[in-house]
Amino acid sequence: MCIGMFMAILDIQIVATSLPTIQNALMIGADQMIWIQTAYLTAEIVAIPLTGFLTARLGMRWLFVSALTVFTIASLGCSESDTFGALIAWRIVQGFAGGTLIPAVFSAVFLLFPPKSQGIATTIAGVAAVFAPTVGPIVGGWITETYSWHWLFRINILPGIIAALGAAIALGDAASNARSARAVDAAALTLLAAGLTALQIGLKDAPSLGWLAPGVIALLLGFAVCAAVFVWRTARSSTPLVELRCFKDRNFAIGCALSFILGIGLFGSTYLMPFFLGLVREHDALRIGEIMLVTGIAQLVAAPVAVYLEQRVGAHSLTVFGFGLFAAGLLASTQQTGATDFAEMLVPQVLRGVAIMFCLLPPTRMALGHVAPELVADGSGLFNLMRNLGGAIGLALIDTTIFSRAATHGATIVEELKAGDIATAVRIGIPRDAFVEQIGVPPDDFTQEMIRRWSKKQALVEAVNDAWLLIGVVTALAVILVFFVRRLPPPSAATDPLQAHDPAWFWSDRP
């Protein structure tokens, strides 16, 4: 199951790395290229909350096998597409199928494993979920340089077949095949799909068109209306499409909020690094992937430590440590310069890589570890949806920050140069002596062009630093939420009535 989930997440990153190659091969307009990713992500974000409903109707075994089979077939379809329309159609199918794989895996953790094994199972699933975005750039860059863009999709085929066959054989127990009757609420399904699609497209367009653009406002208002009607209809239904009553559990609600914030930091950091390295440092996709691999290595090293501590240290302490360290890793990137490269990015990447497992493991247990079995699949869908929504909103805020702050920083730099500020000149790369000689002398065309390029690059660097600051501060605020968690007995104490009523375990350093 983790192999299938890993391939679905990896697909997003490797395709993002090679969008220019696909654009040139299919002669796609620059304004249309973004839809290669938007089509996948929109279909995925619609599918994720439906995991509970689909699990009830098909059972975990056949939902996973069917979804992975469709994902594999759609990957083949993408690789053989020779037109923009065909590629988008297959990407929608691929995204919808891939969207159910992540919550299905986390459902399996709490439905198929005993409490003592849930920690290591969550960690294995978590490593697969967060390692894929990290290795995506290097895998995508290597495939594009070594083979052709078609292999970005073809690499899913063999692992997809193996994982689907393996899941069909291994998930043969009663729990994996349990089903229940749940009616299809067509109206609720339409509202869910329309609302989430409007939100995804609205967030995509807002940074470039402006948050107050009529089209963006219409999309975001459409989402708000669809969401309100969907919640009202779901709350009144005896057989809801999505079990929103999971949110009645305070710990589940806080766990989802932490997942939302983790999405902002996780998606934001994996977006800002290649953005900076590509536009400022002008590295190719393969070199960017090599630099970003540090985060993945740190995750792998931290994973067994996280499992060990999760069994021995209070969930409160681990969650505070995880989000605090993650925020520190994000804030450590706020002082980048135009010369920042691998060496300067090493420590922030290590901090973030180590922290991610502590941001994922305890909140997942917090949200899903004590949910009623019949609600786990729905809860897993909602929990993972919040992380994706956090990522979508975070990326929109990051792009808005970069677009707006780059213009502001650029104007400031120009004014300082006109005033003869030597420090600013040196900061953007103009030699001190050359700038002093030019003070009071009208620059020629070549000098103006060089100053414009240097100013633009420095403004972009400072805007990226502002974006790092934004997601770092938001991530740090997650620590506050932990203190509102309701104390619960550990899963291993569920059969012990004496321990089950002792709330001290959650806040203690040792259970």
**What is the SS3 string spanning 444-482?**
CHHHHHHHHHHHHHHHHHHHHHHHHHHHHHHHHHHHHHH
Query: Is the residue at 445 inside a domain?
Result: yes
- At 23 the pLDDT is 80
Cα angle vertex 138, ends 132, 142, to 5°? 125
Q: Name residue, tokens 């939100």.
A: 199
For residue 319, which of 479, 475, 471, 507 has the smallest C-alpha distance? 479
Instruction: Report the C-alpha dihedral over residues 118, 122, 125, 130, rounded to 10 degrees.
Output: -170
486 is a domain residue: no
| % of the chain residues with pLDDT over 90 | 42
- At 432-482, the pLDDT tens digits run 666 665 665 556 555 666 677 788 888 999 999 999 999 999 999 999 999
More confident residue, 445 or 33: 33
Closest CA to 490 of 253, 314, 360, 251: 314
Given 416, 444, 459, the domain boundary residue is 459
From 232, 219, 357, 341, select the one nearest 290 (Cα to Cα): 341
| The pLDDT of residue 29 | 77
The C-alpha atoms of residue 211 and residue 2 are separated, in whole angstroms, by 38
CA angle 183, 188, 193 (to 5 degrees): 120
Helix 376-418 crosses helix 101-112 at what angle (to 10 degrees)? 130
Q: Which domain holds residue 455?
A: 406-459
**pLDDT score of 491 more than 50:** no
Domain boundary among 182, 208, 223: 182
Instruction: Identify the pLDDT of residue 492.
Output: 47
pLDDT for 433 equals: 64
Task: Tell me which of 182, 204, 237 is where a domain ends.
Answer: 182
Per residue in 183-222, pLDDT tens?
778 888 999 999 999 999 999 889 888 899 999 999 999 9
Out of 68-77, 175-184, 271-280, 484-493, least confident range: 484-493
Q: How far apart are CA 385 and CA 220, in angstroms?
A: 18
In a domain, 173, yes or no: yes
Tokens coding 199: 């939100």
8-state DSSP, 233? H
**Contact indicator for 486, 250 with CB cutoff of 8 Å:** yes
Quick count: other Cβ atoms within 10 Å of Cβ 444?
9
Write out pLDDT tens, residues 410-428. Answer: 888 878 777 777 777 777 7
Pick the closest to residue 337 from 507, 231, 190, 460 (CA basis). 460
Position 177 in a domain:
yes
Q: Which of 318, 319, 265, 251 is nearest to 295 (CA)?
A: 265
| 13 inside domain | yes
Instruction: Give the global pTM.
Output: 0.86
Contacts of 176 (CB under 8 A, 6+ apart): 59, 60, 61, 108, 112
Domain assignment present for 28:
yes
Asked if 459 contacts 413 with a C-beta cutoff of 8 angstroms, the reply is yes
pLDDT digits (tens, 9 = 90+) for 336-364: 998 899 999 999 999 999 999 899 888 88
Q: Is 397 within the bounds of a domain?
A: no
Give the position of tokens 């806080």. 254
Is the residue at 455 inside a domain?
Answer: yes
Tokens of 1: 């199951």
Cα-only R_g, the chain = 24
Is residue 43 within 8 Å of residue 95, measured between CB atoms?
yes
What residues contact 452, with CB distance under 8 A and at least 6 apart? Answer: none
**Which tokens belong to 156?**
């899913």
Do the Cβ atoms of 363 and 380 come closer than 8 Å? no
**Cβ neighbours of residue 487 under 8 Å, at least 6 residues apart?**
503, 504, 505, 506, 507
Say how far apart CA 205 and CA 508 lie, in whole Å. Answer: 46
Q: Which CATH number does the domain housing residue 76 bear?
A: 1.20.1250.20
Domain count, the chain: 2
Dist. CA 309–CA 288, nearest whole Å: 32
Q: Mean pLDDT, to the nearest integer, of 148-159?
A: 92
